């Protein structure tokens, strides 16, 4: 596993501190209100699990699968392949996303949730790669800004490799090449 690591981008300790801070902000903002946390699978599953266990507000959990990536490259057209089970009319939504890259996934998801009648849609992103942005996105809570690297760990993958790592690491060229599908 180790031989594919170029560098550690965010440590598990840094993640824990930032996740704490985000949970505090959400507890303040949504005090006395209901929230639906929508995780974008698969990448956001670890992040959302950590945050929601620190919430003391009323929270329900849903997931969406939006797909557009292969070999770290976007095809530019995000598609919803797993949909919500219940209506979200007039609900407060917080979307949990692992990383915002071109911005196309989030732009599509936000538009979709508004179309489904959500009252308010906020975005919590673990990571953002601003140098790659193609579509503007308002990120309400952004935990770490990272350079233009392919990163894995803490739920994020590269062709399904690396989700279980506690730290977020950048892949080296050998990893990017050998794990290609
Ligand atoms: P966007 O539509 O380009 O913003 O794509 C965001 C999605 O791309 C995220 O949900 C991730 O699944 C994936 N992604 C982008 N960069 C990386 C990366 O460095 N590692 C793992 N997944 C990534
Ligand atoms: Mg994703």
Residue-wise pLDDT for 22-69, tens only, equals 999 999 999 999 999 999 999 999 999 999 999 999 999 999 998 876
106, 123 Cβ separation under 8 angstroms: yes
User: What are the residues whose beta carbons fall under 8 Å from the beta carbon of 7, sequence distance 6 or more?
Assistant: 149, 169, 170
Q: Which ligand gives the minimal distance to the CA of 105?
A: 1
Q: Whose CA is nearest to atom 20 of ligand 1?
A: 151
Using alpha carbons only, give the angle 45, 58, 87 rounded to the nearest 5 degrees: 70
35, 57 Cβ separation under 8 angstroms: yes
Ligand 1 site, residue 159, Cβ cutoff 6 A: no
Closest ligand 1 atom, CA of 150? 19
Q: What pLDDT band is residue 76 in, cutting at 50, 70 and 90?
A: low
Task: Give the pLDDT score at 38.
Answer: 97
Examine the pLDDT at 73 and tell me if it is beyond 90: no
Ligand 1 site, residue 69, Cβ cutoff 6 A: yes
Q: Whose CA is nearest to atom 12 of ligand 1?
A: 43
Examine the pLDDT at 4 and tell me if it is beyond 90: yes
Q: Whose CA is nearest to atom 11 of ligand 1?
A: 99
Examine the pLDDT at 120 and tell me if it is beyond 70: yes
To test the pocket of ligand 1, the residue of 99, 142, 170, 171 to mutate (highest count of ligand atoms within 8 Å of its CB) is: 99
120 CA distance to ligand 1 middle (Å): 24
79 CA distance to ligand 2 middle (Å): 12
Task: Give the pLDDT score at 12.
Answer: 98
Task: Give the pLDDT score at 80.
Answer: 84
Helix (H/G/I), strand (E/B), else coil: 62: strand
Q: Which ligand gives the minimal distance to the CA of 103?
A: 1
């Amino acid at each position: 596993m180790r031989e594919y690591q170029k560098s550690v981008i965010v440590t598990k300790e840094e993640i824990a501190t930032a996740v704490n801070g985000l949970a505090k902000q959400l507890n303040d903002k949504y005090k006395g209100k209901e929230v639906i946390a929508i995780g974008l699978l698969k990448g956001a599953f670890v992040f959302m699990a950590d945050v929601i266990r620190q919430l003391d507000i009323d929270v329900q959990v849903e997931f969406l699968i939006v797909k557009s990536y292969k070999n770290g490259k976007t095809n530019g057209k995000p598609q919803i392949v797993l949909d919500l089970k219940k209506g979200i009319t007039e609900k407060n939504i917080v979307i949990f996303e692992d990383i915002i890259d071109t911005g196309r996934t989030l732009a599509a998801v936000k538009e979709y949730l508004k179309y489904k009648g959500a009252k308010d849609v906020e975005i919590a992103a673990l990571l953002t790669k601003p140098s790659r942005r193609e579509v503007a996105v308002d990120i309400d809570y952004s935990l770490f800004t990272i350079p233009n690297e392919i990163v894995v760990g803490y739920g994020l993958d590269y062709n399904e490799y690396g989700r279980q790592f506690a730290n977020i690491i950048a892949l080296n060229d050998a990893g990017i090449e050998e794990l290609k599908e």
